[in-house]
Structure formats: C-alpha cells, structure tokens
C-alpha cells in the first residue's frame, strides 16, 4: 500500500497530464488550427477542463491532502523548503479555491475562452466592436458567477487577481500602482520635453531577416531546437508542455524590427522560466511558474533590461548592421540603444516604451474593476477606454481595433491578468538590482553576448523553485522584501538619463 502522499502525487500527475493536453490543444488553436476548427476545439477544451476540474476537486484529493499532511507532520517534514510540504500546502490552497467552483461552470469558462478568441480575431480585423461586445459581456457574466463561488475576498476583483497572482490583493496593487503612477507621470513629462531621433529603427526590415536576427538572439538566451519550438502567432505568447518542450511565438512587422526582436526575447524569458523548473517538481502543481507577476518579471527583464539595455546593444548593433544593412549599416551601440528606448505616449500596449507601459496597464486595471463591478457597461467601455487614453497618455484612439480590442486577453476571459505585467516590471527591477549586486561584471558579460551567467542566476534563484514559494516568499528569499516600486523606477531613471543625456533623480 503506497503512502497517502504517493497516492496524492499520482492523482495530481494525472490532473497535470490533462491540463497539459488542454495546453497542447490551446497552443495548436493559436498557431496551427485552420479557422473552421474553432467550434469543435472549444468542445474539446471545455470537456478537458471539466474532467481536470472534477478530478482535482474530488473529495478523494481532499482526503489525500489531509492524509499526506499528517504523514509529513509525523515525519517532521514541515519546512517551507521541503518539496513535499510545499506541494501539499500549495495544492491545499488551490483545492480550497477550486472545489468551490461547479464543474459545469469550469467547463463553460474554458469553452467561452476558446470561442471568444476566435471571434476576437475577426472582430479586431474588421474593427467591429459590436461583434466583440457579446463575448466580453459573456465573460463578465461568467466571471461574476465565478466570483460568487467564493467568500472571504475583500472585493470581486480580488478573487480574479488571485488566480493570476496568488495571494495578491487589489488594495495592494492599487497602492503600488498609485506610487508607480506618481513616479511615471512627471518622468514622462520631463523626458518628452526632449527630442530623440529613432528613425533608424523605422523603415523596411524584411521578415526573413528579422527571423534570422531573432533566432540568433534567442539562441544566446538559451533557446535550442532540441527542447523548444518557435512559431508565428497573431498575439505572441509562450507555453510549455514540461521543461523539455517549450514553445514560444512571435509576429513580424516589416516596418519596425524592434517589435519582433524584443517580443521574441520577452517570450524566451517566459520559456526559460518554464524550462528551468526542477525536474522533480514536474507533473505536480509546483511544476511551473508561481504567478504571472513573477513570469512577467522574467519576460520583461529579458526584453527590456537585457534586450533594450546599453551593454547588450554592443551585441545587437553589429547584428542589425550585418542582417539589415542599409540605414543600419555600421550603426553604433549607443545610437541603437537610444533609438530603441525613445519615450512617447502611444496607442498600443505591446509597443509601448518602458516608461509609458505602466500607464497602459493602470488604464486596464481601472477599467476591469469598473466592468466587473458593473459600474461600467460593455457598451460604454470603448468610450471609457478612449477617455482614459486621452487622460493618462494624452492621445486619441482612432479605432476600437487599436483601442479596446487591441489585446487578446479579454477575448479569452482573462480578466485580472493585466496587472501582472506591471507587477512583473516592478519585480524585474528588484531582481535586476539584486543580480547586479551578486554578479559584479554582469554588464561586461552582457556586452560580450554571454547571457549564461544571468540565466543561471535566474534559474537558481527563481526558475528551479517553480511554484514552491508564493511571490512574496520568493522575493523575500531573493531580495529580502516584498514587491516594491523603488528599484524599477530607479532603474528607469538611470537608463533614461543615459538615453536622453539628461539628469533624472
């Protein structure tokens, strides 16, 4: 007779396998599936979610959790550093939440997510918000029913946020974002007084050449064909089916190569996190990144702190010179560094610079709360969106396709997700500061294209733990505090001082 812990592991491995099957089908939907496959795919994803949910929330898992806990307590194996104990406590937390959600609702959420994404693709292409509005309405309806499953959250949005950033509270995010906004607004005001010529990164950069560039750069990061794939997607994303099968995607804008370049580095950052999780955590609920905030800290650290940093420009400049030639022939690292760091309020979140990016997130954070609370109707949402873009970024939104429909998230019911991008910037700032204090010659390594030191530091300090420590615990282990705004803002000021040749303090 195997122990309760072993039986629990078996049960959870089965659930992990079903979830992975759903992720494979989801990846396929976004990269490979022909258009007419959508409705049947939604059925498959709905059924898998129901089965996975059913198996996970079963009373049997509850009993095994209790039994495994007793076994570990008896063996005095209750340190948060113990893999088994962490697995049991983490799973208990997820089980307590999941078992409140009826299986039928879990399936409905998955089905609506899959169908909504297909509708969004077409609605955005045709700039037809009226086609998208029912999707958003349905997701809000479902999410309200989902929120109603829980007790003990301070507000509806807390229940949603907790799915993406376990343990984080809306009030805490509100506080952090207020502090961030108070730093960003004057910074942007100051910086945008100055001119910066970024014309060298605009022009015509053939897709094939961009593919070559991105492939060379992500291979420096650690991408390899033995255990990774690299495909096209309308809205780039990363996923993984175990640490040895990591999939990233990218898209190609021929008039602006930084989009695919830094987008590729971003997704590879996500992929490295998944690829770095300790093998012994695989097929358990700890076998992936702990939260989207920590995940985004990895992607945005690689995208911006490495990719758009001054040291790595030494690597990128000769590459873009070789690969694109023309206006970039012989471009200096300094010139390239400046051009890819121009601060300018813009329409599209994923193309935003690091300073204005946070404002795009704050807009979504505020709108999501108003939508879920019912203070804002779906029909009024585009107007509210446009008003906030005018208020926060001072720009006019010319169309819903470039406005409220620009992101894939809401089409898939991902409400509460956006905040994690800005949290990721903050966490990334904290890790960036820490790794510099621990690896003295890090900048020299980056300038030489040696990215292994950074990758290994991240693997040891963050990746290997998977979901073993909640964000706050993980950060305390690595940097000694919870999420803070200071390091990111300081990083940004230092960088923009160099970019604009001004003194920001």
Sign of CA dihedral 157, 158, 162, 164: positive
Q: With CA atoms as reference, report the closest residue to 115 among 27, 32, 195, 29.
A: 29
Say if CB 123 and CB 408 are below 8 A apart. Answer: no
| Cα gap 130→113, rounded to integer Å | 18
Q: Is 453 exposed, middle or buried (0-12, 13-18, 19+ CB in 10 A)?
A: middle
- Least distance from its own copies to the Cβ atom of residue 406, Å: 26
* Binding segment toward its own copies, per CB under 8 A, in 23-31, 316-324, 412-420, 450-458: 23-31
- Least distance from its own copies to the Cβ atom of residue 243, Å: 8
Which of the residues are catalytic? 267
Candidates 3, 39, 171, 452: give the one binding its own copies (CB under 8 A): 39
| Cα gap 344→393, rounded to integer Å | 9
- Residue 100 or 229 with smaller CB distance to its own copies: 229
Note the Cα 151 to chain centre separation in Å: 27
Candidates 7, 47, 174, 321: give the one binding its own copies (CB under 8 A): 47
| Cα gap 439→370, rounded to integer Å | 44
- Residue 50 or 298 with smaller CB distance to its own copies: 50
Say if CB 305 and CB 428 are below 8 A apart. Answer: yes
- Residue 20 or 430 with smaller CB distance to its own copies: 20
A 10 A CB-CB count for 488 gives 28
Candidates 1, 34, 59, 76: give the one binding its own copies (CB under 8 A): 34
- Residue 145 or 229 with smaller CB distance to its own copies: 229
Q: With CA atoms as reference, report the closest residue to 133 among 405, 399, 389, 362.
A: 405
- Residue 22 or 435 with smaller CB distance to its own copies: 22
Q: DSSP string of 60-119?
A: HHHHHHHHHHHHHHHTT---TT-HHHHHHHHHHHHHHHHTTS-HHHHHHHHHHHHHHHHH
* Binding segment toward its own copies, per CB under 8 A, in 18-26, 342-350, 403-411, 416-424: 18-26
| 13 lines the binding site for its own copies (CB under 8 A) | yes
- Least distance from its own copies to the Cβ atom of residue 329, Å: 30
- Residue 277 or 423 with smaller CB distance to its own copies: 277
CA distance to 68, 262, 346, per residue, from 266 (Å) = 38, 6, 20
Q: Which helix (H) or strand (E) holds 476?
A: helix 471-479
- Least distance from its own copies to the Cβ atom of residue 413, Å: 20
- Residue 227 or 449 with smaller CB distance to its own copies: 227
- Least distance from its own copies to the Cβ atom of residue 107, Å: 10
| 48 lines the binding site for its own copies (CB under 8 A) | yes
**How many residues lie near its own copies (CB under 8 A)?**
38
Give percent helix, percent strand, percent coil of the chain, each to the nearest 5: 65, 5, 30
Candidates 282, 344, 350, 401: give the one binding its own copies (CB under 8 A): 282
The one-character DSSP state at 248 is E
Q: Which of residues 168-227 bind its own copies (CB under 8 A)?
A: 225-227
| 283 lines the binding site for its own copies (CB under 8 A) | yes
| Cα gap 229→252, rounded to integer Å | 17
- Residue 27 or 488 with smaller CB distance to its own copies: 27
Candidates 3, 6, 32, 70: give the one binding its own copies (CB under 8 A): 32
- Least distance from its own copies to the Cβ atom of residue 230, Å: 10
- Least distance from its own copies to the Cβ atom of residue 139, Å: 22
- Least distance from its own copies to the Cβ atom of residue 499, Å: 38
Q: x/- contact string, 224-263, with its own copies (CB under 8 A)?
A: -xxxxx-----------xx-xxx-----------------
- Pairing type for strands 246-250 and 238-240 reads antiparallel
CA distance to 112, 231, 384, 453, 477, per residue, from 417 (Å) = 17, 23, 19, 31, 25
| 112 lines the binding site for its own copies (CB under 8 A) | no
What residues make contact with its own copies under the rule CB under 8 A?
13-14, 17-18, 20-22, 24-25, 28, 32-37, 39-41, 43-44, 46-48, 50-51, 225-229, 241-242, 244-246, 282-283
């Amino acid at each position: 007779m195997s122990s309760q812990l072993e039986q629990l592991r078996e049960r959870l491995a089965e659930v992990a396998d079903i979830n992975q099957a759903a992720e494979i089908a989801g990846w396929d939907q976004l990269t490979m599936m022909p258009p007419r496959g959508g409705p049947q795919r939604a059925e498959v994803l709905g059924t898998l979610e129901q089965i996975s949910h059913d198996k996970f929330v079963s009373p049997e898992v509850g009993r095994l959790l209790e039994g495994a806990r007793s076994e570990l307590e008896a063996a005095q194996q209750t340190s948060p550093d113990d893999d088994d104990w962490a697995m049991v406590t983490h799973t208990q937390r997820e089980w307590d939440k999941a078992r409140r959600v009826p299986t039928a609702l879990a399936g409905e959420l998955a089905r609506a997510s899959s169908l909504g994404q297909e509708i969004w693709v077409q609605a955005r292409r045709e700039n037809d918000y009226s086609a998208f509005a029912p999707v958003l309405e349905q997701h809000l309806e479902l999410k309200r029913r989902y929120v109603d499953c829980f007790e003990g959250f301070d507000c509806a949005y807390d229940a949603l946020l907790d799915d993406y950033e376990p343990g984080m509270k809306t009030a805490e995010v509100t506080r952090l974002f207020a502090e961030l906004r108070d730093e960003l607004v004057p910074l942007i005001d100051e910086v945008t007084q100055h001119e910066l010529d970024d014309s060298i990164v605009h022009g015509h950069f053939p897709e094939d050449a961009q593919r070559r560039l991105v492939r060379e750069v992500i291979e420096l990061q650690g991408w390899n064909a033995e255990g990774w794939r690299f495909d096209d997607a309308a809205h780039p994303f990363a996923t993984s089916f175990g640490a040895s099968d990591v999939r990233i995607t990218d898209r190609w804008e021929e008039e602006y190569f930084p989009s695919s370049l830094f987008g590729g580095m971003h997704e590879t950052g996500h992929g490295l996190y998944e690829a770095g999780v300790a093998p012994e955590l695989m097929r358990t609920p700890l076998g992936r990144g702990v939260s989207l905030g920590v995940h985004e800290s990895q992607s945005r650290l690689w995208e911006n702190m490495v990719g758009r940093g001054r040291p790595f420009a030494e690597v990128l400049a000769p590459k873009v010179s070789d690969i694109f030639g023309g206006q970039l022939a012989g471009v200096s690292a300094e010139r390239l560094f400046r051009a890819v760091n121009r601060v300018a309020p813009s329409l599209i979140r994923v193309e935003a610079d690091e300073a204005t990016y946070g404002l795009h997130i704050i807009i979504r954070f505020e709108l999501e709360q108003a939508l879920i609370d019912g203070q804002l109707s779906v029909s009024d949402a585009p107007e509210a969106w446009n008003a906030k873009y005018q208020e926060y970024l001072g720009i006019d939104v010319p169309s819903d396709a470039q406005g409220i429909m620009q992101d894939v998230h809401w089409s898939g019911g991902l409400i509460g997700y956006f905040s994690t991008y800005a949290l990721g910037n903050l966490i990334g700032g904290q890790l960036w500061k820490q790794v510099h204090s621990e690896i003295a010659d890090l900048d020299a390594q980056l300038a030489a294209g040696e990215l292994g030191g950074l990758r290994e530091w991240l693997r040891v300090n963050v990746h290997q733990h998977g979901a073993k420590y909640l964000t706050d615990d993980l950060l305390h282990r690595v940097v000694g505090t919870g999420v803070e705004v200071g390091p990111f803002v300081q990083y940004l000021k230092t960088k923009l001082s160099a970019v604009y040749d001004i003194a920001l303090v």
